[in-house]
């Protein structure tokens, strides 16, 4: 679920890099592994700075000063394919044709076929295991087929049609053609988000344009007029006209954003596909409260008989937990204090790091737990790394009973469009009942939101009701693009290789005996 950004300024002498840098801070939550910026200077030359780490580590003042030019793209990486190596940091670049740089959010599920095609049919060398490098090379190969000395918007749209036809998976991308302009596009199901906006330069009265994964990045840079790129749509902003050209390049196959953006990925202050992430999380909390009330009522118990206090698992679940507490008429307490210097744990690259970070990240206040029956609320339980540690911390802090509720349903399948979950066996709910999950994480009871309720919560927060359905494969195993069995076999193979290479690392959280 990486973050992508593209900016083109109307003033050709202005520098896009400071604004790209600012925006990376607004999208840091989407990827902490690597960061990169590529700009294009007045003579069509690309300038780049990328590497492993967070934006603040990679973009030092010294390196930023070399990023000249009035247009550029940026990327924040959370790896889903390939490795965490710095050679897979984005944006990627190919020198032919014309010089192209591209940044990708998402994951392709037909990488093997694409690699074969690139090798055998169009003879393009692929230097990493990244699916994003494949995507860029598919685009480059399609553009090359136009056979032109200089391209126009029509050529680019035709090349993108080739990309849409060949690439299967979730993808939102921003790209830049040396000396020409920037462009953005979104897969035909709209799985991954992409917004596009404009801002009037107060001095010249001319317009600047920006793409970003989330509206918060546009809003923070003053791009107040913005809209979502539609599934299968592309937008090109040529530098010489500064007039954006929109085109529905391929007929939309559906409008199915990934529901996990609303559960966990996105910032609450973003609006994606007309749906406020914050409002959808409030709705999830409300719905969870209804389910909890009904569940206890079936046992002839009131909520107050069972629970003394609602405590969120910071950060993402806070909004939902507060709403849930209000609905249940229970006190809400911030029983866990979050260390602001530790990033998101779920998107850390390995299990060892994730596990130790939960303890470093959260500290329980015994005043809020001692002798209480607590309802802990998290947005999701994925590998169970957080929940197992958290339950233990609550118990160590003196809790009498610990109920653990999740705003999302049980996660039992791979997320194939943007979460690094190559091994479903690493999911705590894989092949396990809710009771077994509770046992493994040490909770008295685990309560999951059900899927239809989650879908209703998010859908009903939509202002313009454009979204038809959501990509929910991580809960059901049915994926919007379809996926060949061979893909999972290949993931399994890659995982085995990786495990062999990192054999000292405990990559799967729970073994058959439920030990971590
Ligand atoms: O079951 P797990 O494998 O532990 O994954 C789920 C947890 O990971 C995420 O938190 P994270 O710390 O990444 O981010 P947050 O601070 O935004 O909640 C998510 O919010 C859950 O708390
Ligand atoms: N999370 C993402 O969007 C990752 C993009 C791409 N698949 C990569 O691994 O770099
Ligand atoms: Mg969390």
Flag whether 378 is marked binding.
yes
Determine the pLDDT at residue 80. 82
Ligand whose nearest atom lies closest to the CA of 130: 2
Q: How far apart are CA 390 and CA 443, in angstroms?
A: 10
Closest ligand 1 atom number to CA of residue 264: 20
Q: How far apart are CA 354 and CA 276, in angstroms?
A: 29
Ligand whose nearest atom lies closest to the CA of 339: 1
Determine the pLDDT at residue 350. 72
Whole-number Å distance, alpha carbon 346 to ligand 3 midpoint, is 7
Determine the pLDDT at residue 498. 64
pTM for the model:
0.94
The residues lining ligand 1, judged by C-beta closer than 6 Å to any ligand atom, are 264, 313-316, 344-347, 378-387
- DSSP-based three-state secondary structure for 475: helix
Determine the pLDDT at residue 490. 78
Ligand whose nearest atom lies closest to the CA of 388: 1
| 349 touches ligand 2 (CB under 6 Å) | no
Site to probe by mutation for ligand 1, drawn from 345, 376, 384 as the one with most ligand atoms within 8 Å of Cβ, is 345
| 398 touches ligand 2 (CB under 6 Å) | no
**ipTM, two decimals:** 0.97
| 81 touches ligand 2 (CB under 6 Å) | yes
Q: Which domains does the chain have, with CATH numbers?
A: 3-253 (3.60.20.10), 275-501 (3.40.50.2020)
**Sign of the C-alpha dihedral, residues 333, 408, 77, 441?**
positive
Structural element, H or E, at residue 141:
helix 131-144
Closest ligand 1 atom number to CA of residue 346: 13
Closest ligand 2 atom number to CA of residue 31: 1
Q: Whose CA is nearest to atom 5 of ligand 1?
A: 382
Whole-number Å distance, alpha carbon 175 to ligand 3 midpoint, is 32
Flag whether 319 is marked binding.
no
Structural element, H or E, at residue 435:
helix 434-441
Determine the pLDDT at residue 57. 94
Q: How far apart are CA 2 and CA 82, in angstroms?
A: 14
Whole-number Å distance, alpha carbon 4 to ligand 2 midpoint, is 10
Determine the pLDDT at residue 385. 86
DSSP state of 329: T
Q: How far apart are CA 208 and CA 201, in angstroms?
A: 7
Q: How far apart are CA 212 and CA 198, in angstroms?
A: 12
Site to probe by mutation for ligand 1, drawn from 346, 406, 408 as the one with most ligand atoms within 8 Å of Cβ, is 346
- Which residue in this structure is represented by tokens 């989330």? 214
| 110 touches ligand 2 (CB under 6 Å) | no
Determine the pLDDT at residue 79. 87
Q: What is the dihedral of CA 322, 326, 329, 333, to 10 degrees?
A: 30
The residues that are catalytic are 2
Structural element, H or E, at residue 166:
helix 153-166
Closest ligand 1 atom number to CA of residue 361: 12
Buried-exposed string 335-348: b where 16+ CB fall within 10 A, e elsewhere: bbeeeeeeebbbbb
Q: How far apart are CA 30 and CA 103, in angstroms?
A: 14
Mean pLDDT by 10 residues, the chain (516 residues): 96 96 97 96 95 95 95 94 85 97 96 96 95 97 94 97 97 97 98 97 93 98 95 98 98 97 97 97 98 96 96 96 98 94 75 73 94 98 92 97 98 85 83 96 97 96 87 95 82 69 45 36
Structural element, H or E, at residue 177:
strand 169-177
**Other Cβ atoms within 10 Å of 326 Cβ, number:** 15
What is the arrangement of strands in the sheet containing 92-94, beginning at the earlier edge strand?
Answer: 92-94, 100-108, 169-177, 181-186, 233-238, 245-248
User: From its phi and psi, is residue 14 left (phi > 0), alpha (psi between -120 and 50) or beta?
Assistant: beta
- DSSP-based three-state secondary structure for 293: helix
Q: Find the largest Cα–Cα distance for the chain.
A: 77
Flag whether 420 is marked binding.
no
């Amino acid at each position: 679920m990486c973050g992508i950004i593209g900016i083109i300024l109307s003033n050709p002498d202005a520098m896009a890099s400071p604004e790209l840098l600012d925006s990376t801070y607004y999208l840091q939550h989407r990827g902490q592994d690597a960061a990169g910026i590529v700009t294009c200077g007045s003579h069509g030359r690309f300038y780049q700075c990328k590497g492993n780490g967070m934006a603040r580590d990679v973009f030092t003042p010294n390196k930023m000063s070399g990023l000249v030019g009035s247009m550029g793209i940026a990327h924040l990486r959370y790896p889903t394919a390939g490795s965490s190596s710095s050679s897979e940091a984005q944006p990627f670049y190919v020198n032919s044709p014309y010089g192209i740089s591209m940044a990708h959010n998402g994951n392709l599920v037909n990488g093997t076929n694409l690699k074969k095609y690139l090798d055998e049919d169009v003879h393009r060398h692929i230097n990493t295991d990244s699916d994003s490098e494949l995507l860029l090379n598919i685009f480059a190969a399609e553009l090359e087929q136009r056979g032109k000395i200089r391209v126009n918007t029509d050529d680019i749209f035709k090349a993108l049609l080739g990309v849409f036809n060949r690439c299967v998976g979730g993808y939102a991308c921003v790209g830049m053609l040396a000396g020409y302009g920037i462009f953005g596009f979104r897969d035909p199901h709209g799985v991954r988000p992409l917004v596009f906006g404009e801002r009037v330069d107060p001095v010249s009265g001319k317009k600047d344009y920006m793409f970003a994964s989330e509206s918060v990045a546009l809003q923070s840079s003053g791009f107040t007029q913005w809209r979502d790129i539609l599934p299968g749509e592309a937008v090109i902003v040529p530098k010489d006209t500064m007039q954006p050209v929109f085109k529905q390049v391929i007929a939309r196959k559906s409008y199915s954003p990934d529901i996990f953006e609303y559960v966990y990925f996105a910032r609450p202050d973003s609006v994606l596909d007309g749906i406020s992430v914050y409002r959808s999380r409030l709705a999830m909390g409300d719905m969870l409260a209804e389910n909890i009330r009904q569940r206890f009522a079936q046992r002839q118990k009131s909520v107050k008989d069972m629970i003394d206090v609602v405590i969120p698992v910071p950060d993402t679940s806070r909004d939902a937990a507060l709403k849930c507490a209000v609905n249940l008429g229970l006190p809400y307490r911030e029983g866990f204090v979050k260390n602001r210097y530790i990033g998101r744990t779920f998107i850390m690259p390995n299990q060892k790091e994730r596990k130790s970070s939960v303890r470093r990240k959260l500290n329980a206040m015994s005043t809020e737990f001692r002798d209480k029956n607590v309802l802990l609320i998290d947005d999701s339980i994925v590998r169970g790394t957080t929940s197992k540690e958290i339950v233990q911390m609550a118990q160590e802090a003196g809790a009498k009973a610990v109920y653990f509720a999740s705003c999302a349903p049980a996660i039992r399948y791979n997320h194939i469009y943007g979460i690094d979950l190559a091994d479903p066996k690493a999911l705590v709910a894989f092949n396990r009942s809710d009771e077994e999950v509770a046992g493994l994480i040490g909770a008295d009871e685990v309560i999951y939101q059900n899927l239809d309720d989650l879908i209703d919560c998010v859908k009903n927060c939509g202002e313009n009701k454009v979204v038809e359905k959501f990509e929910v494969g991580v809960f059901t195993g049915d994926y919007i693009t379809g996926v060949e069995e061979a893909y999972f076999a290949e993931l399994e193979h890659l995982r085995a290789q990786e495990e062999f290479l990192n054999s000292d690392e405990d990559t799967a959280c729970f073994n058959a005996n439920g030990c971590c």
